[in-house]
Chain A
Amino acid sequence: MKPCYLIFTLLICCMACKKDLIPKKEGNFKLNFEHKVGTSRLTLGTTTYKNPSAESYTVTAFKYFISNVYLVKMDNSLLRLPISYHLVDESKPESKSILLLAPQGEYRAIGFKLGVDSTRNVSGAQTDALDPVLGMFWSWNSGYIMAKMEGASPVSAAPDKKLTFHVGGFKGQYNAVQDIRIQTPISINVGPDREPAVTFTTDLNAWFGPPNIVSFATTATIHSPGEAAWKISVNYKNMFRITNVTDL
């Protein structure tokens, strides 16, 4: 091998190394959540909706945890973001927009957990989105409520015709933590000079089926982990759709 080749090769190597030294660029991207019931916009309070069993109902509370967000690169490999927990709450407009930081790149899908992973359920006192003060924690049977919906329905047999769906449970066969992955209609480009925003439309009616159709006449209250809660989580796994991607 001629010395000049050797030098050339070394130079290439050096350049390759040098590239690694350049700090990886990162950018923000946003997840927005818009809440609907069927085709109508969700409004807390008096607006009346119909569930898939055609039973009418109103909604007073709607919230759920988004955590363990990851991005799917164009080659289908996963990029896991640092674990963070977000409580999306219809009554708090600012909570419906989550700002995240990710390495520069082009991504074709977004994934996350709907709920709080088992580790955090057994790690003692937490803060921020996981603070039990937010009413998403069961104290009699330690664990997070992954998603909560409250309201009323004329067909409900519960006191005051209430609907109380507190869905949780992180153990065994009735683990209500659901993995969700949704392909974006156009790829999203993250970089230092752009801030793509992905809008998810979340349909509350998905909670009540399919596949497990829920009639408020027979099920109006879920207050504990178990099969009933898990069935709802299997339903609401399908509640998200990406309806918009903006790239600013």
Chain B
Amino acid sequence: MKRYVVYTCFVMALIWACRKSGDNKPPAGPTPYTVTLPAHFPQPVYDLTQNPPTVEGIALGRRLFYDPRLSRDSTISCGFCHQQFAAFAHFDHALSHGIDNRNGFRSVPSLFNLLWQKDFMWDGGVNHLDIQPLTPITDANEMGEDLGRLIARLNADKKYRSMFDGAFGPGEINSQKLFRALSQFMATMNSFNSKYDSVLTHKAQFTPDEQAGYAIFQAKCASCHKEPLFTDGSFRNNGLPYNEFLNDAGRMRITNSTGDYLKFRVPSLRNIIKSPPYMHDGRFYDIYDVFEHYSSGIEQTPTIDPIVKNGIPLSQEEQRQLYFFLTTLTDYTFINNKSLSEILIDN
């Protein structure tokens, strides 16, 4: 026993000696960051323990998000299409667009509360937040870059080398670090401070119009746009007249199942008034056009959702009240949050 004590002391002395002979400062690891999760939300889908956010990782992710050099010709950043003032959707553009004036075939979805989303894109083709950015980065109609070339470019950049070292420890930059940094930043894009949330947590009250709109919402919209995320995460055919120019089969493209023909993700209604245009192809610029669609514009196709099959009649007064309720879903602290805002990349 005595011998073990001696050995232990010896080993500890050695460790101490090494420590003294090395740098005087303790190695500066990244600073852990706790993402605030609202109490009135369900458990997130994304497992933050697999990619623990740090101050350095989030800062790196933010820089990557706003850096146009992630695209092939250094013109398009993630933030180019995902604008904060539009709840990270693309203001005024029906379809996504990218390098060389090319157009995508779907609208830019808003980005927030991604920790609660289990699959991504309008058709749910992407199954994990980490690898979601791979699609726009490599899509010829968006950022059009080759992942290998991008990783090489990042490795050749001194500033990025030091930021990646700071966030993930020293070593080559690889795609996993790139994607995890972007996820860490996206994990901070959360919207739960709207007036609706204040009412829910008894800090504010709806006006009579908003209250009436809320009742209409609960009666006519809530089964798909489920509170508090305002989506149930499902894919549905909501009876949009078929767009022959885009010829988009929707989720069937992913599942190969004819039962999924023309089905698209149910989007969240949070920040909806700030993020037009609407629908997977951005066909409606005005929320009242959306109301009219459900009220009287449903097209019957074999996969139409039973909930909307017979339309959802909405009188002019109901539409007006619904509009007032939807404005309570705008989260001004989110769309004005300085820690999410665009940064200029000048080196």
Chain A interface (Cβ within 8 Å of chain B)?
121-127, 131-133, 137, 139-143, 174, 224-227
Provided the pairs A137-B134, A139-B134, A139-B138 are in contact, do residues A121 and B176 lie with their beta carbons within 8 angstroms?
Answer: no
Residue numbers in A under 8 Å from B179 (CB-CB):
124-125
Min Cβ gap B292→A in Å is 33
Binary contact readout B224-259 vs A (1 if CB under 8 angstroms, 0 otherwise): 000000000000000000000000000001101000
Q: Does B308 contact A (CB under 8 A)?
A: no
Min Cβ gap A240→B in Å is 29
Q: Does B312 contact A (CB under 8 A)?
A: no
Residue numbers in A under 8 Å from B180 (CB-CB):
125
Are A140 and B174 in touch, CB under 8 angstroms? no
9 contacts between A and B (CB under 8 A): A124-B128, A125-B128, A133-B151, A139-B139, A140-B125, A140-B139, A141-B253, A142-B131, A225-B256
Residue numbers in A under 8 Å from B127 (CB-CB):
121-122, 142-143
Pairs of residues from A and B, 3 with the lowest C-beta to C-beta distance, nearest first? A124-B130, A125-B179, A125-B130
Q: Does B269 contact A (CB under 8 A)?
A: no
Are A140 and B175 in touch, CB under 8 angstroms? no
Residue numbers in A under 8 Å from B126 (CB-CB):
139-142
Main secondary structure of the interface of B (DSSP, over half): helix
Q: Which of A123, A124, A142, A226 contacts B125 (CB 8 A)?
A: A142
- The chain B residue with its CB closest to the CB of A174 is B256
- The chain B residue with its CB closest to the CB of A140 is B125
- Alpha-carbon separation in the docked complex, A141 to B256 (Å): 11
Residue numbers in B under 8 Å from A122 (CB-CB):
127-128
- The chain A residue with its CB closest to the CB of B257 is A172
Are A133 and B175 in touch, CB under 8 angstroms? yes
Min Cβ gap B170→A in Å is 16
Q: Does B42 contact A (CB under 8 A)?
A: no
- Alpha-carbon separation in the docked complex, A223 to B306 (Å): 33
Q: Which of A132, A142, A143, A225 contacts B175 (CB 8 A)?
A: A132
- Alpha-carbon separation in the docked complex, A51 to B147 (Å): 33
Provided the pairs A125-B179, A125-B180 are in contact, do residues A133 and B135 lie with their beta carbons within 8 angstroms?
Answer: no
- Alpha-carbon separation in the docked complex, A139 to B127 (Å): 10
- The chain A residue with its CB closest to the CB of B118 is A122
Are B128 and A141 in touch, CB under 8 angstroms? no
- Of residues 127 through 165 on chain B, the ones whose CB sits less than 8 Å from some CB of chain A are 127-131, 134-135, 138-139, 147-148, 151
- The chain A residue with its CB closest to the CB of B147 is A133
- Alpha-carbon separation in the docked complex, A139 to B128 (Å): 11
Q: Does B101 contact A (CB under 8 A)?
A: no
Min Cβ gap A143→B in Å is 8
Residue numbers in B under 8 Å from A127 (CB-CB):
174-176
